Structure 1
Amino acid sequence: MGFTIQSAKEILKSSLGKTAAVKNLIQRNEEFFYQTAENAALIPCKAVNEDVSIETLIQAFKQHSVVVLLDQYKHPAACITAAQMIDFLYNTYKQLHAFYETVINTSDASVTVIDANERVRTWTKGAETIFSVKEEEILGHPITKFFDRSKLEILQTLHTGKRIHGQYHQPRSDLFVLINSNPVYYTNRIIGAVVSETDITNQVLLNEKLFNMSHEVHRLEQEVARYKHSQDPFYIIKGKSAAIQTTIELARKVCTVKSTVLILGESGAGKEVFAKAIHDASEEPNAPFISINCGAIPPSLFESELFGYERGAFSGADYKGKKGKIELAKGGTLFLDEIGEMPLDMQVKLLRVLQERKYYRVGGEKEIDIDFRVIAATNRNLHELMREGKFREDLYYRLNVVTLNIPPLRERYEDIIELTHYFLNEFSQRYGRPIHEISPEVLQEMLQYEWPGNIRELRNIVERLVVFATDGVIRKEYLLFSASRTAALNNQILPSIESQEKQHIILSLQEEMDRHERKILQRALKIVNGNKLECAKRLGITRATLYNRLKRLGLD
């Protein structure tokens, strides 16, 4: 509170030290005596250094009624009697209490303090407002007299030391709050607990209204889209946050010219969606958009996939020959996804095509002229790859004419609600499963989650929610994660063994998900005898996605 006394020297700064009667001291050898009045008996004194702790000073008063404080030269600096010390400590206590009361009365939040016997010691005006219980009614009484024990998070904090931060809680059917809770420790034991609660009932109710209105807006937007002849290509990119809107505006400017574009962003952030929008906004309606995932094609097949081949170019080739991705993209856009995964030898050949706009098919002798736009994308750090010699600098500067940085979902949290409603509407229509209620706890968890997989992960999670919501109600237990539970575990103070277990749970959360995915992929590949194309079909994913996941999990 600002009045912590660290040493006896602090007392010298107070009025107590200034009024100390040093002149009444009598020194004999190395001992001090205090004379209360002329010709009165001498009282033995305890001499201590002025820098000793307040605890040492109090111990000295347990054996002596007068204590002498010595300065650095061992000269008397002050003489303090027990009565003076008691008066000083009492005044300090009163000041601390005054500050405590002022802080409590200034806060609008609900703050509750209970002691070791579960009795309420502090009950603020905010608590009165939220719970409709007056301070004079509850103060000094067991908290369980007024509330159901099973719904009191503060009791878990008191009895187990559990710390809570930002946890969603519903103490009553008509009340929603966010809780922060901490135990009160004294001499390494819990003597009480403090909980603060913020009423978010209005936000929850508004969110429910927003959900219903958003669902209706999406329905109307789809109806309007049926009759709209020229739709904005960037309409598909959802979000009103400043981060995503700035990126969209920059992408619109790119559409006015056919320069090469390099799109950077984490996996699942929407790089291909931006590439397609740029293509649609700048090319003719029937212009081709050819996508190639540079990380999903084996190096031995890369050249034939990109450039195509003449008939008889190699053993096993189609007798008619085959057009490559570059040729298929003529008059349109070639999207090179995961460009950072492209083999070095292919980087040289691609650079030549970009510079000269000419190339040869594999096994061909005729030079082919080509006119197409290149949009490249990667989630890798190209500068780091260049330092490691895995990506050519000349190709980087050829691609890096215009750069778009797609913000990850954790930098645009305000868009999560809109995206969630958009995907809910999409999957509820696809599966013919109307969703009429989503638990506020679900949205709270989604807003607190880090989203390492970005938009793709959010879309998959929403699909899962719709699949499990057979009664049209989306509940918290349908989520694959629990952000608040993870945060609570992070803040808990547990014994050493439990602490190790806690760290293991948090540390291995992603590992557990990867391990589970690895088992699924291994089992699927075993069933189809290693046929990756068949494996991708059975899992309901593209071959490129399968290759990426196999590579990330070390199964390639």
Structure 2
Amino acid sequence: MAFSLPPVKVIMNGWQTSNEEHIIEQKNGEFFYRLSEKAIAIPCKVMKEDDSFDTLIQSFNRHDAVVILDNKGLPAACITAPQIVEFLHNAFKQLEAFYEAVIQTTDASITVIDEHARVRTWTEGAEKLFTVKKQEIVGQHISDFFDPNKLEILQTLYKGKRITGQYHQPRSDLFVLINSNPVYFNNRIIGAVVSETDVTNQVVLNEKLFNMTTEVHRLEQEVAKYKDSSDPFNSIKGKSTSIQRTVHLARKVCSVKSTVLILGESGVGKEVFAKAIHDGSEEPNAPFISINCGAIPASLFESELFGYERGAFSGADIKGKKGKIELAKGGTLFLDEVGEMPLEMQVKLLRVLQERKYYRVGGEKEIIADFRVIAATNRDLHELMQEGRFREDLYYRLNVVSLHIPPLRERHEDIIELTHFFLNDFSQRYQRPIYEFSPDVMQELLRYHWPGNIRELRNITERLVVFATDGVIRKDYLPFSAGSAGLENNNIMISSNTPKEKDDTILSLQEEMDQYEKKIIERALRIVDGNKLECAKHLGITRATLYNRLKRLGIK
């Protein structure tokens, strides 16, 4: 127990250990407590020194004093009811002092309510944010000052709802980020706490930044018409420290022809970096040949990489075919997803990189290999080597210079620039000007984890432009926000929670397909408010085809 025990004088069968004021006596196995030699002996509750503090408190329900025994079973101290009351009172006062110091130190708006929704704590930050004085609101029901329908703290109090970083607009001129938690005691909610951070200035600045960035991009494109950019890295957007550090290293690689290994998650822009390095290193007309090592069947990989002579195998082109290595002569061969390359092909590629010579499939003439290799992968090559799925010698041959591209979640400051760049691009491509970008959309984009990185951001930005038929981008258009329209990768799909028909009737395949197609088209029409031209674009068919399907399926 974390408790300061008072000194005692112990008398056990006539034996005394000290001359302190407090006296403990043991008679017939029981302990008694006296304030002095002449005072009346009071029966004591006996506890061990390693018992819990709760046990100590409960002991005073029936006893005025408690004897504490040490690990040898001897009395070490005696605690009386007045002493424990004084201790608890001091402990409460200290805790209260710490609580007040914390509340006075924070600049945030913090509100605490009890189980009856009465305000118990109202910080200076809350006074400034809501212009309500502490002396006016403390002790009052919080709904007397605010619309209960807009009070997230009531949802926390009544339903135990926990909130972290939620965007909220309590007033038309006020935007805040909310964190809230219920207060539990004995498995029951006795109150709620909410902290609110004012982000109104950031929202206003974001709107201004959006308008200014859109105009800057428009002017940049106008200027680009009259000059030819010589910097291949201009296509890589982002001003964060991590991406600029990677760009700086990539620029250094351009001065040599070393093999480069680009590492990074799917969608971070590995091929964009590879193309920029190629453009910064090679002659203007030098070829850049890309091959996806994970998309080619193992049986066809050799012929794709090395090419083949005519008649090399059954079904081969009678004229033969050049391989990717031959096509990349004098330029760059980009091996995308190199971690997926079949093991038997790794041996042959390593031989080419070492000897700079190779043969076509079925060929007898030796061909000189003249190309630079840039490889990329989102896999952990060290783990693949341990599993025996990637050759260690090939890894060291490829990993002469390595570049790691950081994922988008590690450079959130680039999201605004990338979003505006893509918005401007798609709005011009689809001839759909954007007049308004809802601030809560940007807040959602900044809070999102982005597992698909820049590729996912580009995809979602295109989605926003496609849905903004009135030039206004709304939060509802986001696929990862509430009320999403359910569009993924620009294809309108039937939601996975569509109710299934409870019918055991087996229809013909064509009838089943017609029913499914009808559901898709009807849902697509609802999303675009019946606009058949927009519906046809989203479904990837012509308007004439859509009209024929509507007529055949009986859709009005």
Question: What TM bracket, shorter-length normalisation?
Answer: 0.7 to 0.9
1:10 maps onto 2:3 in alignment: yes
Output the amino acid matched with 1:92.
A
Classify 1:79/1:434 alpha carbon distance in 2 versus 1 (closer, same or farther; 3 Å): same
1:217 maps onto 2:216 in alignment: yes
Q: Counterparts of 1:383 and 1:72 in 2: how far apart (Å)?
A: 55
Q: Counterparts of 1:96 and 1:336 in 2: how far apart (Å)?
A: 63
Q: Counterparts of 2:35 and 2:398 in 1: how far apart (Å)?
A: 93
Cross-structure match for 1:378: 377
Cross-structure match for 2:270: 271
Equivalenced residues, count: 482
Deviates more, 1:171-180 or 1:373-382: 373-382
1:174 maps onto 2:167 in alignment: no
Contact 1:22 1:79 in 2 (8 A): no
Classify 1:133/1:310 alpha carbon distance in 2 versus 1 (closer, same or farther; 3 Å): same
Output the amino acid matched with 2:263.
L
Cross-structure match for 2:16: none
Cross-structure match for 1:447: 446
Cross-structure match for 2:410: 411
State the Cα distance separating 1:122 from its structure 2 match. 0.9
Output the amino acid matched with 2:125.
G
**Structure 1: runs of 5 or more not aligned:** 1-6, 486-512, 517-522, 528-537, 541-556
Identical counterparts, % of pairs? 75
CA RMSD of aligned residues (A): 3.0
Output the amino acid matched with 2:3.
E
State the Cα distance separating 1:327 from its structure 2 match. 2.1
Output the amino acid matched with 2:390.
F
SS in 1 for 2:5: helix
Output the amino acid matched with 2:256.
V
Contact 2:22 2:35 in 1 (8 A): no
Contact 2:7 2:77 in 1 (8 A): no
State the Cα distance separating 1:445 from its structure 2 match. 2.2
Cross-structure match for 1:429: 428
TM normalised by structure 1 equals: 0.79
Classify 1:91/1:265 alpha carbon distance in 2 versus 1 (closer, same or farther; 3 Å): closer
Classify 1:156/1:14 alpha carbon distance in 2 versus 1 (closer, same or farther; 3 Å): farther
1:242-298 alpha-carbon deviations (Å, 9 max, x no partner) = 211111111111111222222222211111111111111111111211111122122
Contact 1:67 1:81 in 2 (8 A): yes
State the Cα distance separating 1:304 from its structure 2 match. 2.5
Cross-structure match for 1:327: 326
SS in 1 for 2:168: strand
SS in 2 for 1:451: coil
SS in 1 for 2:98: helix
Output the amino acid matched with 1:426.
D
Cross-structure match for 1:245: 244
State the Cα distance separating 1:38 from its structure 2 match. 7.7
SS in 2 for 1:422: helix
Q: Counterparts of 1:254 and 1:59 in 2: how far apart (Å)?
A: 74
Classify 1:311/1:78 alpha carbon distance in 2 versus 1 (closer, same or farther; 3 Å): closer
State the Cα distance separating 1:72 from its structure 2 match. 4.2
State the Cα distance separating 1:133 from its structure 2 match. 0.8
Q: Counterparts of 1:387 and 1:280 in 2: how far apart (Å)?
A: 35
State the Cα distance separating 1:75 from its structure 2 match. 4.6
TM normalised by structure 2 equals: 0.79
Classify 1:313/1:24 alpha carbon distance in 2 versus 1 (closer, same or farther; 3 Å): closer
Classify 1:257/1:194 alpha carbon distance in 2 versus 1 (closer, same or farther; 3 Å): same
Superposition pairs of residues 257-296 of structure 1, within 5 angstroms:
257-296=256-295
Output the amino acid matched with 2:181.
N
Classify 1:278/1:63 alpha carbon distance in 2 versus 1 (closer, same or farther; 3 Å): same
State the Cα distance separating 1:127 from its structure 2 match. 0.7
Cross-structure match for 1:153: 152
Contact 1:287 1:332 in 2 (8 A): yes
Deviates more, 1:183-192 or 1:343-352: 343-352
Classify 1:79/1:238 alpha carbon distance in 2 versus 1 (closer, same or farther; 3 Å): same
**Structure 2: runs of 5 or more not aligned:** 9-18, 485-492, 497-508, 514-537, 541-556
1:469 maps onto 2:468 in alignment: yes
SS in 1 for 2:57: helix
Classify 1:115/1:328 alpha carbon distance in 2 versus 1 (closer, same or farther; 3 Å): same
Classify 1:56/1:391 alpha carbon distance in 2 versus 1 (closer, same or farther; 3 Å): closer
Classify 1:250/1:120 alpha carbon distance in 2 versus 1 (closer, same or farther; 3 Å): same
Contact 1:177 1:201 in 2 (8 A): yes
Q: Counterparts of 2:79 and 2:314 in 1: how far apart (Å)?
A: 103
**Which of structures 1 and 2 has the larger relative contact order (alpha carbons within 8 angstroms, sep 6+)?**
1
Classify 1:397/1:143 alpha carbon distance in 2 versus 1 (closer, same or farther; 3 Å): same
Output the amino acid matched with 1:337.
D
Output the amino acid matched with 2:175.
F
1:4-28 alpha-carbon deviations (Å, 9 max, x no partner) = xxx3x6041699xxxx975455554
State the Cα distance separating 1:388 from its structure 2 match. 3.0
Q: Counterparts of 1:370 and 1:25 in 2: how far apart (Å)?
A: 98
Q: Counterparts of 1:164 and 1:112 in 2: how far apart (Å)?
A: 14
State the Cα distance separating 1:74 from its structure 2 match. 4.7
1:173-210 alpha-carbon deviations (Å, 9 max, x no partner) = 11111111111111111111111111111112112212
Output the amino acid matched with 1:317.
A
1:138 maps onto 2:141 in alignment: no
